[in-house]
Structures are given as C-alpha cells and as structure tokens.
Amino acid sequence: MPDNKLYPNQILQLVQNPIIQSYHAGDMILQQGDKCPEMFFIIEGSVRTVLLTCQGDEFLVSIHGQGEFICEAAYITNRGSILSIYAMDDVRLLSLSDHAYHALLAKYPEVSTTIMMSISQKLDMVVDRLERYATSGIPPRIASILLLFAEKYGIPTSEGIKINYRMTDSELGVYTNAKRESVNRTLKKFQNEGLIQKDREFLYIPNIEALKRLAEK
C-alpha cells in the first residue's frame, strides 16, 4: 500500500455490510463538542473542519477529500470533537465500527501511523489558525485560505494555479472572520498586485510563492 494511502475499493473489501452515509453541501456531519462513536472514511466528496471560538468566531482549519479519515481523534479518545465538520459538496462516508476499524488495522497495520499523523497535523493546524487569526491582519489570513484551497482544489494552467472551487466573498469572509466588504477590497488589491486573477467564478494564482510570503507575514 504505497504512501500509506487507502483507496475506497480497498477499504470496502474489508467491511461486511458497509454503512454509507450521504451528505449534501453545507450539511453538518459532526458538531464541535459532540462525541463520535465511529470513525469515517471519505469515499467521495470533500469536507471542511471548522473551529468555533468562545467569542463565537468560526475559523476554517482544514479540508479533506477522498481517501482520508475524519472524526479519528474523537473516536480514538472517546472525547468530544474539538472541531465541527461540514460537507463541502455531495459527500459519501463509510462508517467504521470498532470491528471494521480493527479489521483494517489487521490488514494494513501501517494505517495506524497514518491516523496518528493525521490527528497530529490537525492539532497543529488548530494552533496555527488560532495564532494566525490572533496576530495577522486580513490579507495574510485570506492568502492562507487561498493557499489551502489551492492545495486541495488547485489545477495547473498556463495562467497559474486554478482553484477549481466556486467560493463567494461571503464564504471567504466566514473562513477568515472578515466582513464581506473587507474581503472584496483585499481581493481587488491582490488582483492589482498580480497575486491573483479572477475569471468568472474561479480564482487563479499566477505566483504561488508570492502568496505564500504574504501568508507568512
């Protein structure tokens, strides 16, 4: 199993009478603070994890797609989830019971390392997002989110990296805790500086290294 990556057909072969749960864009899969008695494997679609602070601010933490696990930390620790999880499009999740989880580890023991690394990375992302939103201005926050979407939805083109996801200014404002007007002004500034290009409903990043430097400020 190269790169510790599982594919839907591999994991479905291990699960007797698989339970598939379906969600549509915007549906909540797990609410922050709730326990999760099972782990999920993404068969199709993408989800986003979101952190809600005590002040009521909502921050985008990460995006996950086909072949990735979610709810693994809450399941393994039997504690409330530190993040909420929402479907970004039509999503199909395979529910992994205790029996299915242990069958998976028996067949692919190296997956335990993958799951532990996933949990560690998500915790690092939570800390990074909190620090970024506490110390950074709106432009670096927006740059950081655009880079996250470019990583998950980016397609190389002659005009740069195309973010193949339709994202509104209001949605970007929610992800960065910024007002829609501020997001609109910042995106126009990015365009004038050559950091992004807009073509109808999609964004292009001509110089991703320049955007990375801005995100690190």
CA distance 94 to 89: 16
CATH architecture, domain 136-215:
Orthogonal Bundle (1.10)
Residue spans of the domains in the chain: they are: 2-134, 136-215
pLDDT, mean of residues 33-41: 91
**Burial class (CB within 10 angstroms; exposed 0-12, middle 13-18, buried 19+) of 110:** exposed
Q: Are strands 160-163 and 154-157 parallel, antiparallel or unpaired?
A: antiparallel
pLDDT of residue 3: 46
Q: Which amino acid is at 194?
A: G
Residue 214 neighbours by CB distance under 10 Å: 18
Give pLDDT tens digits for 45-69: 999 999 887 777 788 889 999 888 8
What is the per-residue pLDDT across 137-188, written as a single tens digit (0 to 9) for each?
899 999 999 999 999 899 999 999 999 998 888 889 988 888 899 999 999 9
Q: Which residues, 6+ apart, have CB-to-CB distance to 129 below 8 Å?
A: 51, 59, 60, 61
DSSP three-state, residue 65? coil
CB 63 within 8 A of CB 164: no
How far, in Å, CA of 39 to CA of 121, rounded?
A: 17
Which of the 8 DSSP states describes residue 57?
Answer: -
* Both structure tokens of 13: 């072969």
pLDDT digits (tens, 9 = 90+) for 114-147: 888 888 888 888 888 778 777 788 999 999 999 9
CATH fold for domain 2-134: Jelly Rolls (2.60.120)
Higher pLDDT, 43 or 6: 43
Assess contact for 7 and 64: CB atoms under 8 A: no
At residue 86, the pLDDT reads 96
| 77 Cβ neighbours under 8 A, 6+ residues apart | none
Contact 143, 149 (CB under 8 A): no
Cβ-contact 51, 59 below 8 angstroms:
yes
Sole residue written with tokens 């990015």: 190
